[in-house]
Structure 1
């Protein structure tokens, strides 16, 4: 796939979505446009199980609208897929044929297991998780998969979702006690035919799709969460049970004002979460985990990287992609800083009780610390922090993202304290110490290439009598700038690490 821009269209049961992806000149991938249209196709199927002609006409109009958007972006390839609502329609062949004839697009009709596999691919390429269940509650189907060691093991597609079960059990979005019991019995009956769902208790239930995303936003608003991202957001099972009962008993006019809930989900959020809870308890899952990626992301990876769509290392790809989105960064300088800081960490970490993942965080921070300069060099650390916490840094928890961004933008321990105070309770006092240690180490590594000439070819590190001895054994020039910068950091570095750094080099007196 050589096209620089790809359009992905997902004709879902609840909504129809377009995403346009771009490959930049420096090899980075990013979303440059997107559009969504409410469809509720599962509600519009007639009594004979057919998609009516007027609905097909509306679908053709939407496809042509999305095709024009792709044309404006010069997208070289458009991949359009249809899922449960059309898959389950009695006249699905006719629907596909008419849409293709009216829009000029080829429409792939995904089977249930295909849909599950693309959803899994989108999730596994955006999260650092090895084992769990994956659920995607759509409007007309629910896909559930078990994965082990980052590999899809088994999946099933149930022919029910939040729209068609709302129509059956919760007219106008109101789910009474008796209807709830009937819905849960209906789901339990379907689950009983898939005994493998109960064979792996204690695993997280990762959710993709609108129902789970909405639940994550509602929960974050409820607990006044201080980090603005729902991707990779964990929710305890008992919290979902309590929220579900609160939302279920709300009249629709009050539910419309619920923070985190979009207007087009007011009437289907309750049956959607009812499905989610029923499966959670049947699996005896440990907790919920919200994933912001899914089917469309999986389709993108399968289209762009057909030979190896599953990423071998999510975080490495994500960091490299974000760095490539900021090509003005001095790459040789960043590479030198990254090399020095990891060497410093490896030399010092055995003597300090640092978390196991601290080297990964430092590697990430030292690769991205200069991206903020693409906005403005002055106070670029502030921009670096913003870009890191608001970009798709996959493979990190929210706390880890803040630790990496705090390290990359580190200036002083007082600034680190202010950062932690802004993101309580995600960050605590121990995290202030950790950010200060890693951040000051990064500042020292930056000082070692302050002239941005990569003058130090080989660095040896030793600790002696309260001093951190840095010897540039092979160096070009006199390292005058680097020496002065290291001296300038020595006082603050000693307060944090208990060591005073000293730089020496051949011919230095």
Structure 2
């Protein structure tokens, strides 16, 4: 049976538990996630950092029920960490002892550099970009990790947190004091952290991305990997600091985040200024995924193998895809692509989309053979969480959805026009995809010779009767001649 691991993260604002199920050596998926707004740091910053009894009680109650969920899911390993508020608390040992005594959980208090490292591990392995700097704004601190070529080069933890600044400054109406505090702390950063791309981790940055997605009417309801240019939204972000609660609700800020969003935005915009960031890539993963991956990849230098994608592997595992068939069909598709790319004016970058679309094209058959293309479209769009841009996920899913057609209706892709290539490009990729699947219609992976003369593609081989018969029912952008060896 696949190993099931739970990761518990006790932050200053929330306690969260993520449960991961492995499907193979490196394949995994999120089985369950729970959150409790325990606010363990509440009242601490005004009382010498000491955790208050009422906050400890909330944390204990939440952890007790986390354990019930873990037991029900047959979790075999629990990894529990605590961050800023607990590590800064003079009375943290009392809290840790009580949790160990009453619940049997051994919580590891991690320092700021380790917290930044875990966020970096998650971003480096599960986002599409290889270079940048993570910003993880929490309730008590903010962590940054410098990532180059998916390696974590440097980490730092700043004493800048949403709850910390709320209690010390915002509750007293002292926004200028908060700004000076932030700028003083930011001076600890050296020039190496100045990067064009920022990986945004944590509740504040995710909340801001959701607000921006609503503002621009973004066509996908997918947060992880959502990317925006700083210059397009900088003034809007700055304006949030002075918004009233009713204004925040109107733009899409959730009620439970009203009291911490303003200090969070101030921290974020000041950091963007200092770093000179031009682009923000939203990360739906953070410390919890970093803890899990650090355990999973502990013998692999905390990195997946080169060219490995965990989401692709998981879909193959879960939907029991025959990789021999998909490898054969991919080979046919890429051979066709190379022959037709000049005539079709196709960029080589589309080879990636064809490859993964074919590799995963049979996923939906496990749900319903007759509507497999529709189910696979949904699966790819909603399960290719890691390592792909939104535009990549969308194009792969739409190739599968529409490959049986010559023409795609404009209204079917109109809402995605900001993410997809021109309609005729999608249709041409669908043509290539269809022929690759057609040649292997009998699943025998026949040996074939493919040649091109003018705009005609000739495919010659044995056991192509069904393919030849079916080819007559489809009009393509090119001429297709299927010939069986030794037969007229």
TM-score range, shorter chain: over 0.9
Shifted more, 404-413 versus 219-228: the winner is 404-413
Question: After superposition, what is the alpha-carbon deviation per residue over 1:324-370, rounded to whole angstroms, capped at 9, x for unaligned?
Answer: 2212x455433332232122223333555322321111101111122
Kept in 2, the 8 Å contact 1:315–1:394? The answer is no
CA distance in 2, matches of 1:424, 1:247: 29
1:466 pairs with 438, 452, 455, which one?
455
* 1:40 partnered with 2:39: yes
Deviating beyond 6 angstroms after TM superposition, the runs of 4 or more aligned structure 1 residues are none
Q: Deviations over 1:126-150 (max 9, x none)?
A: 1121221110000101001212122
Tell me the alpha carbon deviations over residues 430-470 of structure 1, each in whole angstroms, 9 at most, x when there is no partner.
Answer: 4312211111101001110112232x0x2221111431011
The residue matched to 2:121 in structure 1 has which SS? helix
The answer on 1:189 being equivalent to 2:184 is yes
SS at structure 2 position matched to 1:39: coil
Report SS of the residue matched to 1:71: helix
In the other structure, the counterpart of 1:150 is 150
**Residues 95 and 3 from structure 1, CA distance in 2 versus in 1: closer, same or farther, beyond 3 angstroms?**
farther
Q: Distance in 1 between matches of 2:260 and 2:244?
A: 13
1:19 corresponds in structure 2 to 18
2:78 corresponding residue in structure 1? 78
Contact 1:204–1:286 under 8 Å retained in 2: yes
Residues 450-461 of structure 1: pairs in structure 2 closer than 5 A? 450-454=441-445, 456=446, 458-461=447-450
- Cα offset, 1:102, TM superposition: 1.6
**1:189, 1:24 → 2: CA distance?**
47
What is the CA-CA distance between 1:3 and the residue it aligns to?
Answer: 6.1
Q: 2:115: which partner in 1?
A: 115
C-alpha RMSD over aligned residues: 2.2
Q: 1:392 maps to what in 2?
A: 384
Structural mapping, 1:118-137, within 5 Å: 118-137=118-137
Pairing 1:426–2:419 present:
yes
* Partner in structure 2 of residue 306 of structure 1: 298
Deviation at residue 86 of structure 1 after TM alignment:
0.1
Question: How far did 1:24 drift?
Answer: 3.7
CA distance in 1, matches of 2:112, 2:158: 8
Equivalent in the alignment of 1:296: 288
CA–CA distance in 2 between the matches of 1:437 and 1:168? 59
Query: Can you list the C-alpha shifts for 1:190-218, whole angstroms capped at 9, x where unaligned?
Result: 122222356x45x1111111111101100
| Aligned ranges 1:51-450 → 2 under 5 Å | 51-171=51-171, 179-196=174-191, 200-201=194-195, 203-259=196-252, 261-308=253-300, 309-313=302-306, 316-327=309-320, 329-349=321-341, 352-410=344-402, 411-415=404-408, 417-427=410-420, 430-450=421-441
**1:58–1:169 CA distance, 2 compared to 1 (3 A):** same
Deviation sequence 1:353-408 (CA, Å, 0-9, x none) = 32232111110111112212222222221111111111134222111211111112
Instruction: Indicate how the Cα distance of structure 1 residues 264 and 418 shifts in structure 2: closer, same or farther if over 3 A, else same.
Output: same
Q: Partner of 2:408: helix, strand, or coil? A: helix
Distance apart, 1:304 and its partner CA: 2.3
**Contact 1:191 / 1:197 at 8 angstroms: preserved in 2?**
no
| CA drift at 1:239 | 3.8
Q: Which residue of 1 aligns with 2:6?
A: 7
Q: Distance in 1 between matches of 2:26 and 2:276?
A: 42
Unaligned runs of 5+ residues in structure 1 are none
CA contact (8 A) 1:4 1:76 kept: yes
Moved more, 461-470 or 118-127: 461-470
CA contact 1:406–1:416 (8 Å) conserved in 2: no
Structure-2-length-normalised TM-score: 0.93
Gaps of 5+ in 2: none
Contact map agreement 1:337 1:449 (CA 8 A) in 2: yes
- Alignment length, in residue pairs? 485
Is 1:505 the counterpart of 2:484? The answer is yes
The separation in 1 between residues aligned to 2:24 and 2:264, in whole angstroms, is 42
Residue by residue over 1:298-320, the C-alpha shift from the partner in whole angstroms, topping out at 9 and shown as x without a partner, is 11112223212312346633212
The 2-side partners of 1:315 and 1:292 are apart by: 20
Residue in 1 aligned with 2:471? 486
CA distance in 1, matches of 2:436, 2:412: 22
| Aligned-partner Cα distance in 2 for 1:393–1:298 | 15
- Shift in Å at residue 25 of structure 1? 7.4
Higher mean displacement: 55-64 or 12-21: 55-64
Distance in 1 between the 2:151 and 2:331 partners? 33
Q: Separation in 2 of the partners of 1:204 and 1:47?
A: 38
Deviations 1:168-196 (A, max 9, x none): 22129xxx6xx333322211111222223
Instruction: Give the conservation status (yes or no) of the 8 Å contact 1:187–1:275.
Output: yes
Q: Per-residue displacement from partner, 1:52-74 (whole Å, max 9, x unpaired)?
A: 23432332222221111111111
Residues 192, 400 of structure 1: alpha-carbon distance in 2 compared, 3 angstrom cutoff? same
